[in-house]
């Protein structure tokens, strides 16, 4: 029941504020409260090389690059220091199996921490 209800509640709250795409592995806190899934290339690790001189998106010229926005907000918003420090961490590939599920449940169960076995081999 909760598994069906929570995604609806989460989407209802996060869609209007952050244009949430329900990836199920929310990283908003580490990206200046800016959703990287709204990047047309769904990049999780920073801006591509196509950002326009005015800071807008290569794909949607009328839209500010979400990573420019994320960087500005990370610098300027009064966010916890540890969140700001997470900005430049290497985020793993999106787990497509979590698409549409509640990131809140996945946070509590730590399901969103699961990465492919090879991901953390060696140093980052």
Question: Which stretches of the chain bind other proteins, using CB under 8 A?
Answer: 40-55, 58-59, 65, 67-68, 71-72, 88, 90-94, 96, 116-119, 121-124
CA atoms within 13 A on the CB side of 11: 14
Task: Quote the radius of gyration of the chain (alpha carbons, Å).
Answer: 15
109 or 120: CB nearest other proteins: 120
1 or 96: CB nearest other proteins: 96
Q: Find out whether 68 and 36 touch, Cβ atoms under 8 Å.
A: no
Q: What's the min distance (Å) between Cβ of 86 and other proteins?
A: 12
């Amino acid at each position: 029941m909760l598994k069906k209800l929570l995604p609806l509640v989460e989407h209802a709250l996060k869609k209007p504020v952050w244009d949430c795409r329900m990836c199920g592995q929310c990283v908003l806190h580490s990206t200046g409260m800016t959703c990287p899934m709204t990047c047309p290339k769904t990049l999780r690790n920073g801006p591509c090389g196509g950002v326009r001189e005015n800071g807008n998106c290569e794909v949607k010229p009328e839209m500010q690059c979400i990573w420019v926005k994320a960087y500005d907000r990370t610098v300027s918003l009064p966010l916890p220091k540890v969140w700001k420090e997470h900005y430049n961490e290497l985020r793993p590939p999106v787990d497509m199996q979590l698409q549409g599920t509640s990131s809140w449940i996945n946070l509590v169960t730590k399901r969103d921490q699961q990465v492919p076995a090879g991901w953390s081999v060696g140093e980052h």
